[in-house]
Structure 1
Amino acid sequence: MRLFEALGVQRGDVVAFTGGGGKTSAMIRLGNELKEEGWRVLATTTTRLAESEMELFPFATRWRANLLRGSRELAQMLDEHGFVFVYQQIRSDKVMGIPDEYVSRLVDEMNADVLLVEADGARRLPLKAPRSYEPVWPLDTTIGVVVAGMDILGQPLDEHHVYNPQPILDRYGFPYEAPIQPAWLAQILRDERLGLKDIPPTARAMVLLNKADSPLLEARARRTAQIILRQPRVDGVAIGNVHNPLEPVIEVQQRIAAIILAGGMSRRMGTSKVLLPWGDRTVIEGIIQTLLPFRLADIVVVTGHKAGAVERVLQNYPVRTVYNPMYAKGEMLSSLKSGLRALKPEISAALVVLGDQPQISARVVRHILTTAAQRNDTLVAPYYQGQRGHPILIPRRYWRPLLKLRKGAPRDIINQQPITCVSVDNDSILRDIDTPEKYAQEKRLAGLE
């Protein structure tokens, strides 16, 4: 996955980078990716860069007071080079950024597609805590990217490995010079006085865990991301290595919730399907037990028929129930809408699970979630021999057309969207327990009879 895809960069964005562990490299990688896409990219800093780092940009020009006043000079530079870094002056081998009041004008007046900004410094260390005057976020920041290097794990918490460690020591009481653990890293990056300090309230906050260049570091980054995402202010956590020439981002961890559709009338069954026995529990409990190990951000059970009985069965489970008053019409659409509306704003995608598929496989769920982390721009669905089944993962960007649909089935919208297919080796994703015969068959297949 490319960096601009992982961060969800759109034309008109102001993307600001803070932290350590590859911040400048990430900004340059992003700029080059966007240039290759034909974008006009401006970059600057609100603080300072090392003079040697300026050579990494395709082109750099010094800021002058008349650079924007009716002059086509900067626009012509963009036309010619595609990616231009603007600075104020060079002093003592340091490149000084442009005056803060001119940052917004760079995009407003120069017909650039995107502005990239380095908003603090870390002296090339993999982790930092901001000083009192940092970071210098542009007020127009739309995406704030907090960067850390995974090579900090296991390193001592001291000045040689962490830029300005004292605020971390003061806030959390971690032992000085103790090896930094994944949970510590997560706490630092998600803290609104440390990693997220002063980020503009209208900006999307993303974390980039850089230098995850081994399977072990990928796994540790994944666990770190899960802890970071307990902070609702963070939209997502990108994991990768910006120096990887092919794939700088391995995956993006985001908050995924499950919606279990459990409110149908069960007319063909003759009794509530979700309350039928399934081993030593009910069908709905079996489904929830399969989902719980994945540590989803939320599990919402949409009820309708026999709602009270379902709620009583689930009272000791860490799930929420939402009642669909339109359940009697027998439409999946109304239940799906009820579930989507119940999800919190920080949820990035919904895994839609049918309440009459107790044979849902943990392996299939894991495959869907893993694929979604690697392809966060499409729906993800399991397929068996060309047939699509459930569960289906739907990113938030595709919720609106579903919520606007007045009649019909969700598939009417789903079929119009890009879908990443997950191939599975059995047809359990297609089967349900709509009738007594199917229920008996599924119990036999599951070894419950």
Structure 2
Amino acid sequence: MSLISAIIMASGFSRRMGENKLLMKYNNKFLIEYTLDVISKCNFKDKLIVTQYEKIKEIGENLDFKVVKNKYPNRGISESIKLGIKNCEESEGYMFFVGDQPLLDKKDIEKLINVFNEDTSFIVIPKYKNRFGNPVIYPKKYKEDILNLEGDKGGKSIIKSSDKIKYVDVCENTLFDIDNIDDFNNLLKRETVYEK
């Protein structure tokens, strides 16, 4: 049985994109579907998606994710993080995903989980060369700190104050995310998303 709950944050406004990037189509699928598909193939104690969007709620429910409606997305990313923690089962660790990483690699997710399971007191962060990104696993001992986050602050403040962090090498694709239209166009130039 997995010790970890997966929390997917999908409440953002995509202001830099000008439209909801998670519902942009790539190879006839919504971007969010790639993220959810690969997570659904991994073994988690709980799989939960936090969103303000009806369409994403529908997609999540079709893939058997627990869906939590974010009624206050204007409060920033901290609201999604807190809703995720409050609504999932008590777990040894909480793995936070963003919805705009369509090239996430299942093997990398499993590698991060395995490293966490070796010692569940460490925060586990993926890296490629000098870049760090999501998904990050937080041990349950940080639960209260997470619930005290405010505004548009994510978990970086928790990471900065922790002395128990493990960085895990992942492939470049896993950290690829869509922040703007250039990133999306870069994605479209690729032939296809490889099978996980």
Aligned with 1:445: secondary structure? Answer: coil
**1:389 counterpart (133, 137, 141):** 133
Q: Is the 8 A contact 1:322 1:342 kept in 2?
A: yes
**Structure 1 residue 255, shift from structure 2 partner:** 2.2
**1:353 counterpart (97, 109, 129):** 97
Give the Cα–Cα distance (whole angstroms) in 2 for the partners of residues 398 and 342 of structure 1: 16
Give the Cα–Cα distance (whole angstroms) in 1 for the partners of residues 26 and 74 of structure 2: 25
Give the Cα–Cα distance (whole angstroms) in 1 for the partners of residues 166 and 10 of structure 2: 26
Give the Cα–Cα distance (whole angstroms) in 1 for the partners of residues 168 and 102 of structure 2: 20
Aligned with 1:314: secondary structure? Answer: helix
**2:34 counterpart (281, 286, 295):** 286
Give the Cα–Cα distance (whole angstroms) in 1 for the partners of residues 103 and 94 of structure 2: 20
Give the Cα–Cα distance (whole angstroms) in 1 for the partners of residues 40 and 168 of structure 2: 21
% identity of equivalent residues: 24
**Structure 1 residue 324, shift from structure 2 partner:** 1.8
For 1:436, the equivalent position in structure 2 comes to: 181
Q: Provide runs of 4+ in structure 1 moved above 6 Å.
A: none
Give the Cα–Cα distance (whole angstroms) in 2 for the partners of residues 379 and 268 of structure 1: 29
For 1:338, the equivalent position in structure 2 comes to: 83
In structure 2, relative to structure 1, the CA distance for the partners of 1:296 and 1:446 (3 Å cut) is: farther
TM-score, length of structure 1 as denominator length: 0.40
In structure 2, relative to structure 1, the CA distance for the partners of 1:409 and 1:256 (3 Å cut) is: closer
| 1:244-296 C-alpha deviation (Å, 9 max, x unpaired) | xxxxxxxxxx4211111101011111211111113232111111111122121
**Structure 1 residue 425, shift from structure 2 partner:** 4.0
Q: Is the 8 A contact 2:61 2:67 kept in 1?
A: no
| 1:26-60 C-alpha deviation (Å, 9 max, x unpaired) | xxxxxxxxxxxxxxxxxxxxxxxxxxxxxxxxxxx
| 1:50-90 C-alpha deviation (Å, 9 max, x unpaired) | xxxxxxxxxxxxxxxxxxxxxxxxxxxxxxxxxxxxxxxxx
Paired letter, 2:82: K
Residue 322, structure 1, aligned to residue 74, structure 2: no
Ranges in structure 1 where 5+ consecutive residues have no aligned partner:
1-225, 227-253
Aligned with 1:315: secondary structure? Answer: helix
Give the Cα–Cα distance (whole angstroms) in 1 for the partners of residues 174 and 44 of structure 2: 22
Residue 421, structure 1, aligned to residue 167, structure 2: yes
For 1:258, the equivalent position in structure 2 comes to: 6
Alignment of 1:136-285 (within 5 A): 226=1, 254-285=2-33
Q: Is the 8 A contact 1:332 1:410 kept in 2?
A: no
Q: Is the 8 A contact 1:291 1:362 kept in 2?
A: yes
For 1:399, the equivalent position in structure 2 comes to: 143
Alignment of 1:44-123 (within 5 A): none
In structure 2, relative to structure 1, the CA distance for the partners of 1:362 and 1:405 (3 Å cut) is: same
Paired letter, 2:25: P
**Structure 1 residue 318, shift from structure 2 partner:** 1.1
For 1:148, the equivalent position in structure 2 comes to: none
Give the Cα–Cα distance (whole angstroms) in 2 for the partners of residues 435 and 411 of structure 1: 22
For 2:45, the equivalent position in structure 1 comes to: 297
Paired letter, 2:179: D
Give the Cα–Cα distance (whole angstroms) in 2 for the partners of residues 291 and 443 of structure 1: 22
How many residue pairs align between the two structures? 191
Aligned with 2:161: secondary structure? Answer: coil
Aligned with 1:406: secondary structure? Answer: coil
For 2:192, the equivalent position in structure 1 comes to: 447
Alpha-carbon RMSD across the aligned residues, in angstroms, is: 1.8
Q: Is the 8 A contact 2:105 2:173 kept in 1?
A: no
Ranges in structure 2 where 5+ consecutive residues have no aligned partner:
none
Alignment of 1:11-22 (within 5 A): none
Give the Cα–Cα distance (whole angstroms) in 1 for the partners of residues 61 and 147 of structure 2: 28
**Structure 1 residue 368, shift from structure 2 partner:** 0.1
Give the Cα–Cα distance (whole angstroms) in 1 for the partners of residues 33 and 18 of structure 2: 20
Greater percentage in helix: 2
For 1:373, the equivalent position in structure 2 comes to: 117
Give the Cα–Cα distance (whole angstroms) in 2 for the partners of residues 419 and 411 of structure 1: 12
| 1:223-243 C-alpha deviation (Å, 9 max, x unpaired) | xxx3xxxxxxxxxxxxxxxxx
Compare CA radii of gyration and give the structure with the larger one.
1
Give the Cα–Cα distance (whole angstroms) in 2 for the partners of residues 319 and 427 of structure 1: 24
Give the Cα–Cα distance (whole angstroms) in 2 for the partners of residues 348 and 281 of structure 1: 33
**Structure 1 residue 312, shift from structure 2 partner:** 2.1
In structure 2, relative to structure 1, the CA distance for the partners of 1:446 and 1:295 (3 Å cut) is: farther
